[in-house]
Amino acid sequence: MSATLAPPSPGGAPSGSGAPGAGARVRSALGHAVRSREIAVAVVLLVVVAAATARNDSFLLSGDGWRDLLLTPSILLLLAAGQMLVIVTRSVDLSVGSTMALTAYLTGRLFIDQPGLPIPVVVLAGVAMGALLGVVNGVLVAYAGVPALVITLGTMYVYRGAMLSWAGSDRITADQMPKDFLSLGTSSVVGIPVLTIVALLVVAAVGYYLHTARSGRELYAIGSDPDAARLYGLKVPTRVLTAFVLCGALAGLAGVLHAARYGSVSSSVGNGIELQAVGAAVIGGVAIFGGSGTVWGAAIGAVLLVTINRALPILGIPEFWQRAVVGALILGAVVLDRLLAARRARRLDEERED
Amino acid sequence: MSASTPTRGTAPVGLSKGEARTYASYARPAWQRWLLTRETAVILLLAVVFAWATSSVPNFDGPLTLYYLFLDLMPILLIALPMTLVIITGEIDLSVASTVVLTSAVTGLLTIDAGWGFGQAALVAIAVGALCGLFNGFLVGYVGLPSLAVTIGTLALYRGIAVGLLGTEAKTGFPEEWTDRVKERIGETSYPQVLVVFGVLAVVFVLLLHFSGFGRGVYEIGLNDEAARFSGVDVARTKLLLFVLAGAVSGLAGVYYTLRYDLARGDAANGLELQVIAAVLLGGVSIFGGRGALHGVVAGVLLIGVISSAMRLQGETENVTTIVIGLLLIASVVTPSFLSWVSGRLPAGVKGAFSRSRRT
Checking phi first, is residue A338 left (phi over 0); if not, alpha (psi -120 to 50) or beta? Answer: alpha
What is the reported pTM? 0.86
Q: What is the pLDDT of residue A153?
A: 92
Task: Give me the residues paired with residue B185 across strands.
Answer: B192
**Using CA atoms, how far apart are residues B39 and B51, in angstroms rounded to an integer?**
18
Element (H, E) at A222: helix A214-224
Is B170 at the interface with chain A, CB within 8 A?
no
Judged by CB atoms closer than 8 Å, whether chains meet at A140 and B325 is answered as: no
Between CA B164 and CA B169, with CA B168 as vertex, the angle to 5 degrees is 100
- On the question of pLDDT at B50 being above 90, the answer is yes
Q: Which residues from chain B sit within 8 angstroms of residue A101, using beta carbons? A: none
So what's the pLDDT on residue A288?
Answer: 87
Best of A98, A276, A289, A320 to mutate (most B CBs within 10 Å, chain B)? A320
Distance from the B288 Cα atom to the nearest Cα atom in chain A, whole angstroms: 8
**Mean pLDDT on B130-140:** 98
CB-CB: which of A154, A282, A325 is closest to B152? A282
Determine the distance in angstroms separating the CA of B109 from the nearest CA of chain A, rounded to an integer.
16
| B360 touches B41 (CB < 8 A) | no
Axis crossing angle, helix A179-186 with helix A236-262, rounded to the nearest 10: 100
> Which residues contact residue B31 at a Cβ distance below 8 angstroms, ignoring those fewer than 6 apart?
none
Predicted local confidence at residue A31, as pLDDT: 63
CB contact under 8 A, A320 and B323: no
Residues 6+ away with beta carbon under 8 Å from A86:
A92, A93, A148, A243, A244, A247
Task: Decide if A171 contacts A266 (C-beta within 8 A).
Answer: yes
Q: Which of A276, A252, A275 is nearest to A104 (CA)?
A: A252
Nearest to B334 among A94, A146, A320 (CB): A146
- Round to whole Å and give the CA distance between A199 and A163: 25
Torsion over CA of B24, B30, B33 and B34, rounded to 10 degrees?
Answer: 180
Q: What ipTM was predicted for this assembly? A: 0.83
Average pLDDT over residues B187-206: 92
Record: contact B330-A140, CB cut-off 8 A: yes
In this prediction, residue A191 carries a pLDDT of 81
Chain B residues inside the 8 Å CB shell of A148: none
DSSP secondary structure letter of residue A282: H
Distance spanning both ends of chain A, measured CA to CA: 25
DSSP string, B56-70: HSTTTTSHHHHHHHH
pLDDT of A131 higher than 50:
yes
Q: Which DSSP symbol is given to B189?
A: S
What pLDDT score does A30 carry?
Answer: 61
pLDDT at B349 over 80: no
Query: Which helix H or strand E contains B98, and what residues bound it?
Result: helix B96-108
Q: Quick one: average pLDDT of A229-244?
A: 94
Cβ pair B287:A318 closer than 8 A: no
Residue A77: half-sphere exposure toward Cβ, Cα within 13 Å = 25
* Interface touch B156/A149, C-beta < 8 Å: no
Q: Is the pLDDT of residue B5 over 60?
A: no
Q: Is B282 exposed, middle or buried (0-12, 13-18, 19+ CB in 10 A)?
A: buried
pLDDT tens figures, B227-263:
999 999 999 999 999 999 999 999 999 999 999 999 9
Give B15 to chain A, closest Cα distance, Å: 37
Residues near B143 by beta carbon (within 8 Å), at least 6 away in sequence: A335, A338
Separation of alpha carbons A243 and B345, rounded Å: 29
Q: Closest to A161 (Cβ–Cβ): which among B159, B278, B320? A: B320
A chain contacts of residue B325, beta-carbon cutoff 8 Å: 157
**Percent over 90 (pLDDT), chain B:** 62
pLDDT number for residue A201:
96
Residue B327 at interface with chain A, using a CB cutoff of 8 Å: yes
Q: Is A290 left (phi over 0), alpha (psi -120 to 50) or beta?
A: left
CB contact under 8 A, A153 and B278: yes
**Secondary structure (H, E, C), B194-260:** HHHHHHHHHHHHHHHHHCCHHHHHHHHHHHCHHHHHHCCCCHHHHHHHHHHHHHHHHHHHHHHHHHH
Give mean pLDDT, residues A306-315: 89
pLDDT attached to residue B215: 96
For the segment A10-16, the average pLDDT, to the nearest whole number, is 40
Q: Is the pLDDT of residue A62 over 90?
A: no
What is the rounded average pLDDT of the residues A162-190?
87
Partner-chain contact B145 A328, CB within 8 Å: no
Closest CB to B154: pick one of A150, A288, A327: A327
Q: Which of B18-32, B105-119, B132-146, B332-346 has the highest mean pLDDT?
A: B132-146
The pLDDT assigned to B81 comes to 98
pLDDT at B26: 66
Residues of B within 8 A of A327 (CB-CB) are 153-160
In B, which residues are within 8 Å of A169 by CB distance?
A: none
DSSP annotation of A174 reads G
Distances (CA, A) of B328 to A97, B281, B283, B293, B294: 20, 10, 11, 19, 19
Chain B closest-CA separation from residue A187 CA (Å): 33
Establish if B337 touches chain A: CB-CB under 8 angstroms: yes
Q: Please report which confidence band the pLDDT of residue B52 belongs to, taking 50, 70 and 90 as the band edges.
A: very high
When pLDDT is averaged across residues B296-304 and rounded to a whole number, the result is 96
Candidates B140, B157, B342, partner chain A, best to mutate (most A CBs within 10 A)? B157
* pLDDT at position A1 over 60: no
Separation in Å, CA of A79 to nearest CA in chain B = 17
What's B143's DSSP letter? S
Give pLDDT, residue B169: 84
The model's confidence at residue A310, banded by pLDDT at 50, 70 and 90, is confident
What is the per-residue pLDDT for B6?
45
Q: What is the mean pLDDT of residues B173-196?
A: 87
* pLDDT tops 90 at residue A206: yes
Give pLDDT, residue A349.
87
- For the ranges A44-53, A97-106, A311-320, B110-119, the one whose mean pLDDT is highest: A97-106
Output the pLDDT for position B295.
96
What mean pLDDT comes out for the span B97-114? 94
- Per DSSP bridges, beta strands A192-193 and A188-189 are antiparallel
If DSSP codes are grouped into helix, strand and coil, which group holds residue A330? helix
- A-B contacts at Cβ under 8 angstroms: 146
Inspect the interface and report whether the beta carbons of B326 and A165 lie closer than 8 Å. no
B320 and A155 within 8 Å at the Cβ level: the answer is: no
Residue A99's pLDDT is 97
> Which residues of chain A does B139 touch, with a Cβ-Cβ cutoff of 8 Å?
331, 334-335
Percent of chain A exceeding pLDDT 90 equals 55
CA distance A321 to B156: 10
- Among B184, B216, B213, which Cα is nearest to B197's? B184
**Which residues 263-302 on chain B approach chain A with CB closer than 8 angstroms?**
266, 270, 274, 277-278, 281, 287-288
Least confident of A195-204, B85-94, B306-315, B330-339: B330-339
Check: CB of residue A96 under 8 Å from CB of residue A83: yes
B320 touches chain A (CB under 8 A): yes
Please give the distance of CA B194 from its chain centroid, rounded to a whole number. Answer: 17
Whole-number pLDDT of residue B350: 55
- Comparison of pLDDT for B353 and A290, the residue scoring more: A290
pLDDT, tens digit, for every residue of A113-127? 988 889 999 999 999
Residue A13: is its pLDDT beyond 70?
no
pLDDT band for position A272 (cuts 50, 70, 90): confident
Arithmetic mean of pLDDT, B146-171: 92
Amino acid at B4: S
A61 CB neighbour count, 10 Å cutoff: 10
Put simply, the answer to whether B164 touches A324 (Cβ < 8 Å) is yes
Q: Report chain A residues touching chain B, CB-CB < 8 A.
A: 92, 94, 140, 144-147, 149-151, 153-158, 160-162, 164-165, 271-272, 275, 278-279, 282, 288-289, 318, 320-328, 330-331, 334-335, 338
Our CA-based measurement puts residue A160 at a distance from the nearest CA of chain B, in whole angstroms, of: 8
Q: Is A271 left (phi over 0), alpha (psi -120 to 50) or beta?
A: beta
